[in-house]
Amino acid sequence: MQATIITIGDELLYGQTVDTNSAYMGRELALLGIRVREILSISDEKAAILEAVARAEQASDLVLITGGLGPTKDDITKSTLAQYFDTQLVSNPEILALLEAFFASRNRPMLQSNIDQALMPEACTPLRNDRGSAWGMWFEKNGKAFVSMPGVPFEMEALMQQQVLPKVKQYFRLPVIVHKHILTAGKGESFLAEEIAIFEDNLPANIKLAYLPNIGSVKLRLTAHGTDRATVQQQLDEQVTKLVTQIDHCIYGFDEDKLEAVVGKLLLEKGKTIATAESCTGGYIASQLTLVPGCSAYYYGSVVSYTYDSKREVLGVKQETLDNHGAVSEETVREMLLGVCSKLGTDYGIATSGIAGPDGGTPDKPVGTVWVAYGSPTDMRTKKLSFKGNRHQNIELTALMALELFRRYLVKI
């Protein structure tokens, strides 16, 4: 079974609004095993809407439409759909009564445009909107369903949950699709692909693997199709287990996990604490760790030391270490880690020092050279990293690698 999503609104085409509705609807449909064939974003124009709906009707069994249901002149979805389904707009007494009550409660006059919001195509089933004045619409034609919803995400999401998804489940006989996301860090897409090439080749026909790469990390998605949920789930689980066994070392989590939260959870489980001493990452690791609610239980803070003085004064790095080895050196990150653990009284630390760029590189230490120290004062590891990105990327990659290296250290302890 296939679906088409149509989002209506010039603001989407101008790029003033990012279309988050489609992703939301896509996720919800995927959970029901409905494959979205295509997402179409189009203008608030009658011809564009008619063409898109006709195209969707040909290709899909279910068509979800958002946008163009407001009270203003450019909101023409309702009248256009009435035309498409060859039906008339009639005033819906239930909607009208609710609108009247709403305006009465606020002592505001009802304009004609407000009264017109009670108009509904005669051929549709109106879908109640608890969060706004524009109701949704459900049309049926030759065993296919067409749903129109407002474009405000907050209203659309409630309509989906309360009205649309239950009706979709009832109206269609659905196949089963189950997904699992395996989250990896610190290994490039092509190396990962090479490592699991045989696994991928041997996947059963009803299970697909996709690579979703990001900066420094790759998300692997396994998707299983079938008819019986328990069987499909079991088939998927088997493949996930195989895959995990093979690349265990670089997997930091599954599905919605975040690396910084995974590290936090490990620390909480072990009852341990951490602080960071950041030079080149400039507080970025701290800001990642502190995005996690409740992080103050294990994260004590950071010293962002952007000068020799601050490394010496706040972190206790020795002047001779700086003089002999420079700020970007194994010796310096070691002393930074020792200093911050002692200063903030934590079990573990992460320290970074490097040349994020674009300036500051030397032949010996080109832009992108980074030293990281991680672990405890008595059991510390260090690693030299080399990145070729711009300043922003080098900072992000350093943070990601430092957290991933520390995670791997933690799980082994």
Q: 37 to 56, contacts with a copy of itself by CB under 8 A?
A: 37-44, 48, 52
By CB under 8 A, tell whether 171 contacts a copy of itself: no
Of 13-21, 90-98, 160-168, 263-271: span binding a copy of itself (CB under 8 A): 13-21
Nearest approach, Cβ of residue 304 and a copy of itself (Å): 4
Q: Closer to a copy of itself by CB, 140 or 178: give it.
A: 178
By CB under 8 A, tell whether 79 contacts a copy of itself: no
Nearest approach, Cβ of residue 79 and a copy of itself (Å): 17
By CB under 8 A, tell whether 104 contacts a copy of itself: no
Of 138-146, 160-168, 298-306, 369-377: span binding a copy of itself (CB under 8 A): 298-306
- 203 φ/ψ sector (left φ>0, alpha ψ -120 to 50, else beta): beta
- The rounded distance, in Å, linking the Cα atoms of 364 and 134 is 65
- The rounded distance, in Å, linking the Cα atoms of 371 and 336 is 11
By CB under 8 A, tell whether 287 contacts a copy of itself: yes
- The rounded distance, in Å, linking the Cα atoms of 149 and 169 is 17
By CB under 8 A, tell whether 168 contacts a copy of itself: no
Nearest approach, Cβ of residue 256 and a copy of itself (Å): 10
Q: What is the dihedral of CA 22, 24, 30, 32, to 10 degrees?
A: -120
**Given candidates 290, 325, 382, 408, which one binds a copy of itself under the rule CB under 8 A?**
290
By CB under 8 A, tell whether 97 contacts a copy of itself: no
By CB under 8 A, tell whether 202 contacts a copy of itself: no
- The rounded distance, in Å, linking the Cα atoms of 116 and 114 is 5
Q: Which residues of 86-125 are buried (b: 16+ CB within 10 A; e: fewer)?
A: eeebeebeebbebbeeebeeeeeeeeeebeebbbbbeebe
By CB under 8 A, tell whether 307 contacts a copy of itself: yes
Answer whether 216's CB lies under 8 Å from 223's CB.
Answer: no
By CB under 8 A, tell whether 258 contacts a copy of itself: no
Answer whether 192's CB lies under 8 Å from 247's CB.
Answer: yes
**Given candidates 8, 25, 178, 333, which one binds a copy of itself under the rule CB under 8 A?**
25
By CB under 8 A, tell whether 409 contacts a copy of itself: no
Answer whether 209's CB lies under 8 Å from 200's CB.
Answer: yes
| Residue 187 CA, distance from chain mean position | 20
By CB under 8 A, tell whether 58 contacts a copy of itself: no
**Given candidates 46, 167, 187, 221, which one binds a copy of itself under the rule CB under 8 A?**
221
Q: Which residues contact 96 (CB under 8 A, 6 or more apart)?
A: 115, 118
Q: Closer to a copy of itself by CB, 60 or 321: give it.
A: 60
By CB under 8 A, tell whether 301 contacts a copy of itself: yes
Answer whether 288's CB lies under 8 Å from 262's CB.
Answer: no
By CB under 8 A, tell whether 363 contacts a copy of itself: no
By CB under 8 A, tell whether 246 contacts a copy of itself: no
By CB under 8 A, tell whether 121 contacts a copy of itself: no
Answer whether 252's CB lies under 8 Å from 185's CB.
Answer: yes
Answer whether 284's CB lies under 8 Å from 302's CB.
Answer: no
Q: Closer to a copy of itself by CB, 77 or 302: give it.
A: 302
Residues paired with residue 225 on neighbouring β-strands, in sequence order = 177
By CB under 8 A, tell whether 286 contacts a copy of itself: yes
Of 166-174, 264-272, 296-304, 372-380: span binding a copy of itself (CB under 8 A): 296-304
By CB under 8 A, tell whether 344 contacts a copy of itself: yes
By CB under 8 A, tell whether 361 contacts a copy of itself: no
Residues paired with residue 251 on neighbouring β-strands, in sequence order = 184
By CB under 8 A, tell whether 76 contacts a copy of itself: no
Among candidates 239, 234, 188, which has minimal Cα distance to 213? 188
Nearest approach, Cβ of residue 123 and a copy of itself (Å): 26
- 217 φ/ψ sector (left φ>0, alpha ψ -120 to 50, else beta): beta
